[in-house]
Amino acid sequence: MCGIIGYTGNRQARDVILAGLRRLEYRGYDSAGIAIGNGSLNVFKDKGDLDHLVKIIPEMRGKFGIGHTRWATHGKPMKNNSHPMVDCNGEIALVHNGIIENNVSLREELMKKGHVFRSETDTEVVVHLLEEYYDGDLEVAMRKTLARLQGSYAVAAMHQKENGKIVGARNISPLVVGLGKRENFLASDVPAILEYTDRMIYLLDGEIITLTKDTVRITDFKGKSIKRNWQKVEMTLEGAEKGGYEHFMLKEIFEQPNSIRDTILGSNLNAESGYSFDLKPDTVKIIACGTSYHAGYVGKYMMEELARTPTTVELASEYRFSSDTSQAPLIIGISQSGETTDTLSAIKTAKKRGFSTLGIVNIVGSTMTREADSVFYTRAGLEVGVAATKTYITQLIAMLSISIKMGVAKEHLGIDDARYLTQEMRKLPKHVRSVLDQSDAIFDLAQEISGARSMFFLGRNMNFPVALEGALKMKEISYIHAEGYPGGELKHGPLALVTEETPVIAIAVKDQTYEKMLGNIGEVSARGAMVIAIGTEGDRELEKYADHVIYIPEVPPLFTPILTSVVLQLLAYHTANILGCEIDKPRHLAKSVTVE
Q: Which chain residues interact with ligand M6R by CB under 6 A? A: 289-292, 335-337, 340, 343, 386-388, 476, 591, 593
Q: How many CB atoms lie within 10 A of CB 11?
A: 16
**Closer residue to ligand M6R (CB): 317 or 461:** 317
CB of 252 to ligand M6R, least distance (A): 11
CB of 174 to ligand M6R, least distance (A): 12
Q: Using alpha carbons, list the distances in angstroms from residue 574 to 33, 182, 507, 546.
A: 33, 47, 18, 20
Q: What angle do CA 23, 25, 27 make, to 5 degrees?
A: 115
- Burial of 443-452, coded b for 16+ CB within 10 Å and e otherwise, reads bebbeebbeb
**Closer residue to ligand M6R (CB): 63 or 591:** 591
Phi-psi region of 285 (alpha: psi -120 to 50; beta: other; left: phi over 0): beta
Pick the catalytic residue: 2, 165, 285, 473?
A: 2
CB of 189 to ligand M6R, least distance (A): 12
**Closer residue to ligand M6R (CB): 31 or 394:** 394
The residue among 537, 303, 504 whose CA lies nearest residue 413 is 303
Strand 356-361 relative to strand 216-220, pairing: unpaired
- Backbone torsions φ then ψ of 19, nearest 5 degrees: -65, -40
Q: Looking at the DSSP assignment, which residues form a beta bridge with residue 299?
A: none
Q: Residue 595 in contact with residue 72, Cβ under 8 Å?
A: no
CB of 214 to ligand M6R, least distance (A): 36
**Closer residue to ligand M6R (CB): 337 or 575:** 337
Is 88 tagged catalytic? Answer: no
Q: Residue 9 in contact with residue 180, Cβ under 8 Å?
A: yes
Sequential DSSP letters for 65-101? EEEEEE--SSS-SSGGGSSSEE-TTS-EEEEEEEEET
**Closer residue to ligand M6R (CB): 521 or 571:** 571
Q: In what order do the strands lie in the sheet with 531-536?
A: 481-486, 454-459, 504-507, 531-536, 548-552
Strand 231-232 relative to strand 199-202, pairing: antiparallel
CB of 483 to ligand M6R, least distance (A): 16
**Closer residue to ligand M6R (CB): 162 or 342:** 342
The closest residue (CB) to ligand M6R is 290
CB of 589 to ligand M6R, least distance (A): 7
Q: Residue 520 in contact with residue 490, Cβ under 8 Å?
A: yes
**Closer residue to ligand M6R (CB): 212 or 594:** 594
Map residue 582 onto helix, strand or coil: coil
- Give, as one character, the DSSP assignment of residue 288: E
**Closer residue to ligand M6R (CB): 210 or 395:** 395
CA gap 343, 318 in Å, rounded: 10
Q: Residue 591 in contact with residue 494, Cβ under 8 Å?
A: no
Is 63 tagged catalytic? Answer: no
CB of 559 to ligand M6R, least distance (A): 21
CB of 363 to ligand M6R, least distance (A): 8
Annotated catalytic residues are 2, 591
